[in-house]
Amino acid sequence: MIAFLRGVVNAVGTDYVVVDIGPMGVTASCTPATALGLRVGDQVELVTTMIVREDSWTIFGFLDGDERAVFELVQTISGIGPRLALAILATLSPNELRAAVARDDFTTLTKVPGVGRKGAGRLVLELKDRIGPAPHLKPVVGGSGTPVGWQGAVGAGLTSLGWSQREADTAVTAVTPMANEMADPDVPTLLKAALQSLDRS
């Protein structure tokens, strides 16, 4: 198993990063917030897990061991594979997931693309005694006050492209009505719309 990747960022997409580790470049799938928070040329270390299938070997990268542990844990639930596990972490931080599970908060859990009420019920039932205690904190937000989720991913993408945090916050506010109309907020679409709103300003 590849436990971590350490090297220079060679390329960044909305849901992956390519890390130059010397003799080769390794692609790691990751959440939009992680990917868009990195820039080409950055030194990076990602903790990783590798999923081996008959037709593919896929490496998933995370900023810390807690994210990886939650990613691996949720896949022990029937019906949840690596892509859905990554979608959960793209929408909720580990602590937000712990809090939602502890509170039987189906509304928060069903914000994850691909998780309906039945899936939320399985998450609550199977994780409550295994995911660890919920933090006695307010909902987790980024250091600037930008919420984790699509807002955090779009904000991180804008700041990684050189916009200031204030501009990023303004653009996130501008595209919020669009996001509210989506059943499952699509980060790449919202990021593009946010960039267009800044170009018009």
Residue with tokens 């502890």: 102
- Select from 19, 11, 80 the least CA-distant residue to 47: 19
Other CB atoms within 10 Å distance of the CB of residue 85: 22
Q: What are 179-201's pLDDT values in tens digits?
A: 888 877 778 888 888 888 887 65
Side chain identity, residue 161 = L
- As a whole number, mean pLDDT of residues 56-77 equals 93
Provide the residue type at 94 as one letter.
P
CB-based contact 140:93 (threshold 8 Å): yes
Split at pLDDT 50, 70, 90, the class of 85 is very high
How many Cβ atoms are within 10 Å of 172's Cβ, its own excluded?
23
Q: How many CB atoms lie within 10 A of CB 70?
A: 23
Q: Which of 109, 93, 16 is nearest to 58 (CA)?
A: 16
> Over the chain, what is the mean pLDDT?
85
Average pLDDT over residues 112-118: 91
pLDDT at 61 over 50: yes
**Measuring CA to CA, how many Å separate 35 from each of 38, 164, 199?**
6, 18, 23
* Confidence tier at 33 by pLDDT (50, 70, 90): confident
Express each pLDDT in 119-173 by its tens digit: 999 999 999 889 987 654 344 444 444 445 678 778 777 776 777 878 888 888 8
Q: Residue 1: is its pLDDT beyond 70?
A: yes
Please answer whether residues 135 and 95 qualify as being in contact, where contact means their C-beta atoms are separated by less than 8 angstroms: yes
pLDDT band at 75 (very low <50, low <70, confident <90, very high): very high
- Say what the pLDDT of residue 10 is: 96
Query: Would you report the helix, strand and coil content of the chain in percent, each value rounded to 5?
Result: 45, 20, 35
Q: What is the pLDDT of residue 158?
A: 78
The 3 state secondary structure assigned to 19-79 is: EECCCCEEEEECCHHHHHCCCCCCEEEEEEEEEEECCEEEEEEECCHHHHHHHHHHCCCCC
